[in-house]
A and B are shown apart, each in its own frame.
Chain A
Amino acid sequence: MAKILGGITTSHIPAVGNAIQKELYDDPYWKPFFDGYPKVHAWIKANKPDYVINIYNDHGLGFFLDQMPTFAIGAAHEYKNEDEGWGLPALDPFPGAPELSWHIIESMVADEFDITSCQELAVDHGFVVPMQLFWPGAPNNPDMPRAVPISANTVQHPIPTLKRALDFGKALGRALRSFPEDARIVILGTGGLSHQLDGARAGFINKEFDQYCLENIVSNPEELTKVTRMELVEKAGAQGTEFLMWMMMRGALGDNVTEITRNYHIPISNTAAGTLLLECAA
């Protein structure tokens, strides 16, 4: 049976893709952010996952308001990024894992978690930037695992509750652990932490709330299910609702995790950037 190695979270700010392209790793603005990743690279090198479940939120590339799935799971042989409106370079496709995708879909729907399956899915910066951060040169990195994208709606309210996101993760964890292959799996939760792009409150960041989230997501994620969706908007900012991806990731890891590394930095672009690596008990 497959094994979940651990979970990694990171912000997925588009500007990071640009900074990677320009190799601004030692630039004074970027260094405190990029310093959060060497320990993640070392852990990935040591653990060599075969598959990566990339939980992100589409920002208006893969989905529009005409048909907006609350939870969507990719089931394609490969995933391509696209120009998102500002002329991003097209990367080589990311290899998919449709047999694992369909196993997850079967298991989750049997577990009464109804999802949308996608045999074609354009992936945006929410998926791509974390891949580039964790597997430099992605998808052209010899250690690049095959990927299953999972996207949750944070574009349009009603968005899922924090409890639903955590429960989604728990069902995902059951699905992955029942995959009949001796595979090693890592789960990404991308987005966040606090930020707001729109309105007269644009630029809002909330360090205190982010620290509360970072503390609890490690050892007491159930505590975070008490936060209502509107409290999340108020305290994390309108786009800080991306924290739902972290909850989904966390649910899949089970109770017993060890924190390997953590980084938090304000600001990167308009965002409080957070990175966390949690390892599952052997």
Chain B
Amino acid sequence: MDHPGFDHHTHIPGTTIFDGKMAMKGYALNKMCYAFNRQDNRDAFVADEEAFMEKYGLNDAQKQAVRDRNILGMIEEGGNIYYLAKFAGIFKLSVQDVGGMQTGRSTEEFQDFLQSQA
């Protein structure tokens, strides 16, 4: 799916432009994560992850990234961070925890990195 003249894929290191292509790729994954807005859905996921992922139609790569709690992997598979944040919420992860997980830092190292830009 290419749209000549509307290419948003400017190369910005470490950054995925979440455009139509990615939104289509990640639709099932993001739809599942959107469901985590509700406590009953979060509980259902915790009770049986595999069944919950199956219900939302995740593909194998998406399922594996979820099993591995691999945030970069989920983004690669079309996950959008605003929905993934709700997934992280199930595990009570802060955005600094998630930042550390994506950049190979501990949460404390990630916080120091933020502070260093003041």
B19 touches A157 (CB 8 A): yes
Which residues of chain A are near B6, meaning CB under 8 Å? Answer: 158
Task: Say what secondary structure dominates the interface of chain B.
Answer: helix
Q: A207-B117, A230-B10, A266-B117 are in contact. Are A198 and B16 (CB under 8 A)?
A: yes
A199 touches B16 (CB 8 A): yes
Chain B nearest CB: distance from A21 CB in Å? 15
Which residues of chain B are near A229, meaning CB under 8 Å? Answer: 8
Cα A101 to Cα B65 with chains together (Å): 43
A61 touches B96 (CB 8 A): no
Q: What is the 8 Å Cβ interface bit string for chain A, positions 183-199, against chain B (1 contact, 0 not)?
A: 00000000000001111
Cα A25 to Cα B118 with chains together (Å): 20
Of the four ranges (under 10, 10 to 19, 20 to 34, 35 or more), the interface on chain A belongs to 35 or more
A196 touches B19 (CB 8 A): no
B-to-A contact residues, CB < 8 Å: 6, 8, 10, 12-20, 23, 27, 30-31, 33-34, 36-39, 42, 71-72, 75, 80-87, 89-90, 92, 94-96, 98-99, 102-103, 110, 113-115, 117-118
For the complex of A and B, list the 10 residue pairs with the smallest distance between their C-beta atoms, beginning with the closest: A85-B86, A201-B14, A200-B14, A86-B89, A198-B81, A267-B114, A266-B118, A85-B89, A157-B19, A205-B117
A-to-B contact residues, CB < 8 Å: 15, 59-61, 64-66, 82-87, 155-158, 196-207, 229-230, 233-234, 238-239, 265-267, 269-270, 272
